Amino acid sequence: MAVHKWRQRQSRHFGTVWVPYAQIELQAVHGVFQPLALQIDSGAIVSILRRSVAALLGIKLEGGRRIELGSVGGGSTVAYAHEIQTKFADDIAYSVPFAFAETESVPNLLGRLGVFDLLQIDFDATLTQTEIRSPWLDPPGRRLWKFLIETEAHIMSRFPELEVSDFAKNAIRCFLNRGEQIIASAYAMMRHECCYAGPALVRSMFELSLQFEYLMQEPNARGEQYCEYAHISKHKMSQAIVANPSGIISAYLAASPLRVEGEKRNQAEYDRVRSRFMSRNKKGKEHIWENWYGMPVRNLAEKLNRDKEYVFIYALTSAWAHGDPFSTTYDDADAFCDPHVLFPIVKGYYARMLLTLVDSGKIVLSNEQYNFLTTLSQEMS
């Protein structure tokens, strides 16, 4: 990745403005790369250089294809098109078409052709800088990503037809929404080449897929159980807030005129459902379930015959998340920070969730869609 700071320029009517620039290198005829600062112009079809740049690179101007460049004001400039090997970073180099103008009266501009269609360019107005990096997905990866989105959209269009209870539908929506959030997080990290939290996302998606698989075995009963457990979670969080009276959230809630009535309502809902989520330990002492499905994640994985995945995926990524001394010095968990590992795994577990919904809800897919989800769901196995 290359980071390029913007520059200030004086405009005719709007005073001083920030303008995106890129410091690139162009290969001269004798093979040496020459550094050059170009203004980035997403409105320009092709990159434009002054006549003097051709001389700097040892390029015979008229040796290129003669073209005419139009401007917003309606004028035109004669130029000659040449392909120039261009470095955008030490590891990013492409042959880019440039139009060398006959005149010096044009600005040196980096346009779209051979640049915006091959590279990922992010303008950051907050930091007044532009980041240039290779695309986070290659062409086959882009096609797979688009097909996953299309397949998901088709499945969700059939969602209202599911013959399950409202509790089940609400629970399914919650799980799929969270799956989309994790996918979006992985997408954002890959775009910005900062997949450091990859293990945490893999762990979250794995656990989410386990819970969803468990839910869809008995969607009506377990959907209600999932939704009712929300009152247990809400009560736990409210107690945690009360236990931290100096916190910002606690101070805000304490000052709310709705606090008394809200606490009464939360307590009433908690008292209504708590018996459903009550167990006794080996010593006979009662305790509330730690989660809506009433067992440790390991037991849930074993119940679903996912125990081998648990050992490899969940245990390893949990060690990473908890700062385990072995995981901080071992490379296996770090493999989940590799985008070529992270994204297929996250997509795979989400595909498994969609496939579970399709099979349980008897949603009709094309053979291509069904086989696609099946293949994705097996990539992380």
Is residue 32 domain-shared with residue 49, that is, in the same domain? yes
Is residue 327 domain-shared with residue 363, that is, in the same domain? yes
Q: Which tokens in the block code for residue 24?
A: 């690139």
Is residue 103 domain-shared with residue 77, that is, in the same domain? yes
**Mean pLDDT on 63-67:** 94
- C-alpha to C-alpha distance for 11 and 39, rounded to whole angstroms: 14
**Mean pLDDT on 247-258:** 71
Q: What is the pLDDT of residues 138-171, one digit of tens each?
A: 888 889 999 999 999 999 999 998 999 999 999 9
Is residue 67 domain-shared with residue 211, that is, in the same domain? no
Give the residue from 116, 133, 150 where a domain finishes: 133
Question: Of the candidates 34, 51, 333, which has an alpha carbon nearest to the alpha carbon of residue 200?
Answer: 333
Give the residue from 133, 166, 187 where a domain finishes: 133
Q: What is the pLDDT of residue 334?
A: 63
Between the CA of residue 223 and those of 211, 230, 293, 332, what are the distances in Å?
A: 11, 11, 10, 36
Q: What is the pLDDT of residues 276-302, one digit of tens each?
A: 999 887 777 888 999 999 999 999 999
In this structure, is residue 278 part of a structural domain? no
At residue 47, φ and ψ (nearest 5 deg) are -70, 140
Task: With a cut of 60, say whether residue 330 has pLDDT above it.
Answer: no
Confidence tier at 312 by pLDDT (50, 70, 90): confident
Confidence tier at 245 by pLDDT (50, 70, 90): low
In this structure, is residue 148 part of a structural domain? yes
Q: What is the pLDDT of residue 77?
A: 87
In this structure, is residue 260 part of a structural domain? no
Is residue 305 domain-shared with residue 209, that is, in the same domain? yes
Is residue 70 domain-shared with residue 157, that is, in the same domain? no
Is residue 128 domain-shared with residue 188, that is, in the same domain? no
Confidence tier at 3 by pLDDT (50, 70, 90): very high
- Counted domains in the chain: 2
Is residue 158 domain-shared with residue 218, that is, in the same domain? yes
DSSP 314: I
In this structure, is residue 190 part of a structural domain? yes
For 217, the domain range is: 139-226+295-378
Is residue 13 domain-shared with residue 105, that is, in the same domain? yes
**CATH number where 108 lies:** 2.40.70.10
Q: Considering only 5-19, 64-78, 188-202, which range has the smallest mean pLDDT? A: 64-78
Q: What is the pLDDT of residues 97-128, one digit of tens each?
A: 999 999 998 999 999 999 999 999 999 999 99
Task: With a cut of 60, say whether residue 333 has pLDDT above it.
Answer: no
Predicted TM-score of the model (pTM): 0.83
Is residue 99 domain-shared with residue 154, that is, in the same domain? no
Q: Is 301 exposed, middle or buried (0-12, 13-18, 19+ CB in 10 A)?
A: buried
In this structure, is residue 236 part of a structural domain? no
Q: What is the pLDDT of residue 331?
A: 55
Q: Considering only 8-17, 189-198, 293-302, which range has the smallest mean pLDDT? A: 189-198
Is residue 104 domain-shared with residue 161, that is, in the same domain? no
In this structure, is residue 178 part of a structural domain? yes
In this structure, is residue 348 part of a structural domain? yes
Give the residue from 133, 157, 192 where a domain finishes: 133
Is residue 106 domain-shared with residue 192, that is, in the same domain? no
Q: Considering only 299-303, 304-308, 333-337, 344-348, which range has the smallest mean pLDDT? A: 333-337
